[in-house]
Amino acid sequence: MVRRWFGIAGLLALLVSAGCLFGPSRGPKILGYQHGTVLLTTGERYQVGPLTDEWLEERPSRHVVGFRDRERGAIITTSAWCGAHFEDLPLTALMGHLFAGIELVRVDPAIAFSLDGRGALRTRSLRRIDGVVMQTDAVVVKKDGCNFDFYLIARPEDATVLTPVFERFVHGFRFH
How far apart (Å, rounded) are the C-alpha atoms in residues 40 and 60? 16
**32-74 tens-digit pLDDT:** 899 999 999 888 999 999 999 999 998 777 788 999 999 999 9
Of 5, 27, 18, the C-alpha closest to 97 is: 18
Q: What is the CATH number of domain 2-175?
A: 3.40.1000.10
pLDDT single digits (tens) 17-30 = 444 444 444 567 88
Query: pTM of this prediction?
Result: 0.84
